[in-house]
Structure 1
Amino acid sequence: MSLADSSSLSQGATKASATVRGARPAGRVRDPRLDFFRGIVMFIILIAHVPGNWFTLWIPARFGFSDATEVFVFCSGMASAIAFGSVFRNQGLLMGAARVAYRCWQVYWAHIGLFVAIAATMVLLNASELFDTDYVGQLNLHPFFKSTDQSLVGLLTLTYVPNYFDILPMYLVVLAMMPLVIACHRLHPLVALALVLGVWLGAQTDLLALPAEPWSAREWFFNPFGWQLVFFTGFAFMSGWLPAPPRDTRLVIFAAIIVIVIVPLEYYRITRHLPAVIAWRNDYSILIEKTDFGLLRYVHFLALAYLCWMAVGEAGRRILPPEGESALASGWRQTLAVIMKVGQQSLAVFITSMFIARLLGVALDVLGGSSLFNQLLVNATGFAILIAVAYGVGWFKSEPWRKKGTA
């Protein structure tokens, strides 16, 4: 969750490549902190989406206003600055916009494919008559099948976005804003700032929103016009538009106070015993609302991001394997390589995560979710699948068939 400027990027990537071999493709500069935190978030996202998963009681979202979604979007902004920034700088705004459009095209079809795959799987589970659970209804997909013609058009035009399938559409719209924000920044940095803040304020006042289904007034659960704020915060830090914050003990204490004070305002075991907190949350819900990305979610995330940035050290030196060939160093080196590999293949891993989360929920139904062993087994299986997908996708992206070798 780095907030470092571009000068530390090369240093961190170089050091990481020397200590964590195989964690990134050769020839591409990566920030080890970015891959590390994206990898961690991928595991958290899987945990959060498995129905009946006990581990959801201990994810960061239970203890603060912001959660893994903020980290995912923030890191996506940073990754976009790395992936697309050079195209805008070296080949101009038009070619940069074309590169972003190509990525939007990929994300769009990933979203469509994910929906079709999950919807078809839920129909097969219901048709098997082996389970008592209505898996189609569990995802609220009955309206889609009752009015398939209208819903199918809505799916393809993104005017039908069920709650479970709302992150990729949000990401797609935010990506599409990138050329406009960069163009505004070239006019003047304050113009870009005004655009980002103005769009965010439009979301807070319900002036900017997108319809989630044709038959009701429901809006997208993740309003991209609100969530673009955290995306472009990450983009601005990695692009060098914003300087790295100072490393100051006083700021560490201030950020820690923010995080600690918010715990009793969010942790359900505490809030349910405090009527005043419940009343405050109801009266000021706009500040913590997830749909439009409320202000206090942003404040909480920035505090956590600063603490993590300080914790990992300059260029991520504290997460890199310790010197030497001890068992501890070797074990952490292998673990770090796995986490970073998952972080590098975040789109493929995310899609896989959303799909297998439903099947893992079915596994808990069959095995019995009341058993700690079953809970551990199901989560470990999910983690193993994500790791296998990350390495598999990485292998295909390396295009091994282009390498010369003996038949």
Structure 2
Amino acid sequence: MKMTPNMTATGAIPTPAQSVRDPRLDFYRGMAMFIILMAHTPGNWWNQWIPARFGFSDAAEIFVFCSGMASAVAFGRTYDRRGWLLGTSRILFRCWQIYWAHIATFLFTAMMLVAIDQYGDFEKSYVGSLNLGRFFEEPGQNLVGLFTLTYVPNFFDILPMYMMILLMVPIVMALSNVSLWLVAAFVGIVWFMGQGGILDAIGIGWLEIDLPAEPWSDRPWFFNPFAWQLVFFTGFALMRGWIPAPPVNALMIGLVAIVLIASFTVSSVAMRELGADWAREWRSDNRMWITKTDGGVIRYIHFLAIAYFGWVIAGPQGRHLMAKGASAGAKLWRGIVAQITKVGQQSLAVFLVSIVLSRLLGFALDMTGNDPWPTAFWNVIGFAILLATAYGAAWFKSQPWRGPAKT
């Protein structure tokens, strides 16, 4: 049989991207937004109990994975309907938006921290808390670095990483028109070349690819996009139908449970609460396999296990997320799910606000202390602001001013 350009290596024609957003996508991305806020807020002891403390992967993987799924729906559909050139044009436009969102978020946050240091009388330097002192010592050099993405402080690294991964989408879509095996080879090889620890261990460190994070040192980006693209394109491929959905059966659930239990034995919670000191040594000896910067393979496997359980719990099309019945408990749960989903639908706007908000909440905790009640209060306030941001962004996107005029 002669293969057409759209056929895979097996002769099957890949399924086009879905035209309707999967509710599970928005729900879990919304969950990631709340977790990211807690994780980024200094002095917030709630972050000692986020899912990342029970294993290796964290909300960053959820965000990137779900972004890959959302990109398959949004951008994949453009490639399907309008071709490679216009699909790539839409990717470039999105990167342009993310670039300026990154620049504005950094400058606003830096200004806010300077204002706190300048007009407050605190022993702590809030500019120093994000290691931004060097930026203000050499503003000329670092402004150039900021705009060329050669100065990427750790706290501001997710959006640049996401933008670099998006720029790989046109390559992946072009390869997919030839063979999905080429897509798998490209993604796998690029991920392998991002594994600095492994490459150094086997004596071919010169193959490593990364990006410089600051002009005055050789420190790379904290999130290496060449490694993290594996998580993104896993979600992308699942939503495109290039990878079949895993089966739901006792054997699969058992295997995934073993992965999660094994991960827990060397987790932060196990070390902190159960005194598993040997786990600290294990993590140190196996850093290359669980590294966050390079998206280590054990970290990736742990995330796949988490994602599988999330998929099973949600049920087909997220049916299990919506409790049935007219009881007060069922109504409350449906309301909670609806609010989390709303946040996930506006994840970029919510994420930008959370970057600034986390520093403000950290400042508030410094002022009030982080005892249980103040901590709970500021976390709830933060969650409410994220929710308000989601509703506000949705309102502006609806362009209500274009509706019929009032009579």
State the TM-score, normalizing by the size of structure 1.
0.91
Q: Output the CA distance in 2 between the equivalents of 1:144 and 1:399.
A: 38
Amino acid at match of 1:390: A
Offset at 1:268?
A: 4.7
Deviations 1:366-399 (A, max 9, x none): 1112x21100000000000000000000001011
Q: Output the CA distance in 2 between the equivalents of 1:365 and 1:339.
A: 28
Deviations 1:24-58 (A, max 9, x none): xxxx7221100110111110000000000010110
Secondary structure of the residue aligned to 2:120 is coil
Deviations 1:53-85 (A, max 9, x none): 010110011111101110110000000001111
What does residue 310 of structure 2 align with?
Answer: 308
Partner of residue 59 from structure 1, selected from 50, 64, 87: 50
Partner of residue 166 from structure 1, selected from 146, 153, 157: 157
Offset at 1:275?
A: 4.8
Deviations 1:64-115 (A, max 9, x none): 1101110110000000001111110111111100000010001111100000
User: Is the Cα contact below 8 Å between 2:266 and 2:276 reproduced in 1?
Assistant: no
What does residue 393 of structure 2 align with?
Answer: 393
What does residue 381 of structure 1 align with?
Answer: 381
Offset at 1:227?
A: 0.2
What does residue 327 of structure 1 align with?
Answer: 328
Deviations 1:100-132 (A, max 9, x none): 001000111110000000000000001013322
What does residue 271 of structure 2 align with?
Answer: 270
Q: Output the CA distance in 1 between the equivalents of 2:323 and 2:171.
A: 40
Secondary structure of the residue aligned to 1:196 is helix
Amino acid at match of 1:316: G
Offset at 1:269?
A: 4.6
Deviates more, 1:331-340 or 1:140-149: 331-340
What does residue 285 of structure 1 align with?
Answer: 287
Offset at 1:332?
A: 2.2
User: Is the Cα contact below 8 Å between 2:150 and 2:215 reproduced in 1?
Assistant: yes
Q: Where does the alignment leave 5 or more consecutive residues of structure 2 unmatched?
A: 1-13, 200-204
Q: Where does the alignment leave 5 or more consecutive residues of structure 1 unmatched?
A: 1-5, 11-27
What does residue 18 of structure 1 align with?
Answer: none
Offset at 1:330?
A: 2.3
After the TM superposition, which parts of structure 1 deviate over 6 Å for at least 4 consecutive aligned residues?
A: none
Partner of residue 109 from structure 2, selected from 112, 118, 142: 118
Deviations 1:222-264 (A, max 9, x none): 0000000000000000001111111111100110111011112
Q: Output the CA distance in 2 between the equivalents of 1:113 and 1:249.
A: 49
Among all aligned residue pairs of Structure 1 and Structure 2, give the percentage whose two residues are the same amino acid. Answer: 52
Q: Output the CA distance in 2 between the equivalents of 1:397 and 1:276.
A: 52
Amino acid at match of 2:116: L
Partner of residue 124 from structure 2, selected from 116, 133, 137: 133
Secondary structure of the residue aligned to 2:230 is helix
Q: Find out whether 1:94 has 2:96 as its counterpart.
A: no
Q: How many aligned residue pairs are there?
A: 383
Secondary structure of the residue aligned to 1:265 is coil
Secondary structure of the residue aligned to 2:395 is helix
State the TM-score, normalizing by the size of structure 2.
0.91
Amino acid at match of 1:249: A
Amino acid at match of 2:108: A
Q: Output the CA distance in 2 between the equivalents of 1:406 and 1:131.
A: 52
Amino acid at match of 2:29: R
Q: Output the CA distance in 2 between the equivalents of 1:368 and 1:307.
A: 36
Cα RMSD of the aligned pairs, angstroms, is 1.7
Q: Output the CA distance in 2 between the equivalents of 1:69 and 1:264.
A: 22
* Mapping for residues 188-267 of structure 1, pairs under 5 Å: 188-204=179-195, 205=199, 207-267=208-268
What does residue 23 of structure 1 align with?
Answer: none
